[in-house]
Amino acid sequence: MITRDSAVPLYIQIKEFIRQNILSGAYSENTRIPSERQLSEQFEVSRLTVTKAITELVTEGLLHTRVGKGTFVTPGKINQELRTLTSFTEEMQRRGQAAASRVLYASIDPAEEEVARALALVPGAKVMVLKRLRLSDGQAIALEISHIIDALCPNILDNHDFSCESLYQVLREEYGLNMTHAQQTIEARRATVTELELLKIDSHTPILSMTRITFNEQDAPFEYARSAYRGDRYKFNAVLHSVG
Ligand code: GLP
């Protein structure tokens, strides 16, 4: 409830009231919250005060508005731990979501310079290139392009359908490639036009751009992947230990 004699501005109190309702589940994911008119009547404040509270929660990503339909609770982000080396399929399975992919490109190509460098190959050496739109419960959440040293997985594209199969599972089970560790970078950037279209996002949605070099037990790199995750659907967390 809000208190009028508090030093905390009314719009902040209303904002916190809405936030608590979202966190407690009283306002559940994808449902519409009460209209600005209802909230202003409930709290006996001006519409402007309510608008200010809602606008801030939209900016923070907790709410979103649908033109002509109202204001809705944005679903929570997928929270991925950075400690373990997992595949997209494993990540989705762990949280009970269905993983699927749309294969946009699959080919054996000469390695571009950046790829060759990451995989310690001579430029032009053959790599399997697999570009997929990755879906979680039917929603596109990432665009991913993986490059695997072709000599390590001959004929992989002839025998597998990566719209439903896991690349890591095939590499492990059929080619005996054991991924032991990976070097991953994550950075924020704006979406490209292609990403806007494929991920069905608007230009305000940030992209979490990742590169991963995956190594086998001989400490040799075999995969170089570039991924673009929807910044509004994904977050990463890590446990940090003090060095002292
Ligand atoms: C993650 C990694 C990619 C890897 C992929 C394999 O998304 N970022 O580097 O290629 O998993 O996924 P899957 O085994 O589901 O095909």
The structural domains of the chain, ordered by start, are 10-73 (1.10.10.10), 78-237 (3.40.1410.10)
- What does the pLDDT look like over 219-233, one tens digit per residue? 999 999 999 999 988
- Once rounded to an integer, what is the mean pLDDT over residues 19-37? 92
Query: What is the Å distance from ligand 1's center to 166 Cα?
Result: 8
- What does the pLDDT look like over 101-152, one tens digit per residue? 999 999 999 999 999 999 999 989 999 999 999 999 888 999 999 999 999 9
- Whose CA is closest to atom 10 on ligand 1? 146
DSSP for 50-99, please give it. Answer: HHHHHHHHHHTTSEEEETTTEEEEPPPPEEEESSS---HHHHHHHTT--E
- Whose CA is closest to atom 7 on ligand 1? 88
pLDDT of 1 strictly over 80: no
- Once rounded to an integer, what is the mean pLDDT over residues 172-198? 96
Cβ proximity of 132 and 207 under 8 Å: no
The pLDDT, as a whole number, for residue 130 is 98
pLDDT of 168 strictly over 90: yes
Query: What is the Å distance from ligand 1's center to 88 Cα?
Result: 5
- Tell me the best of 227, 229, 236 to mutate to test the pocket of ligand 1, counting ligand atoms within 8 Å of each CB and taking the most: 227
Query: What is the Å distance from ligand 1's center to 119 Cα?
Result: 16
Q: Is the pTM for the entire model greater than 0.75?
A: yes
The pLDDT, as a whole number, for residue 244 is 79
**Mean pLDDT taken over the chain:** 93
- Once rounded to an integer, what is the mean pLDDT over residues 206-223? 96
Ligand 1 contacts CB of residue 80 (under 6 A) = no
Ligand 1 contacts CB of residue 89 (under 6 A) = yes
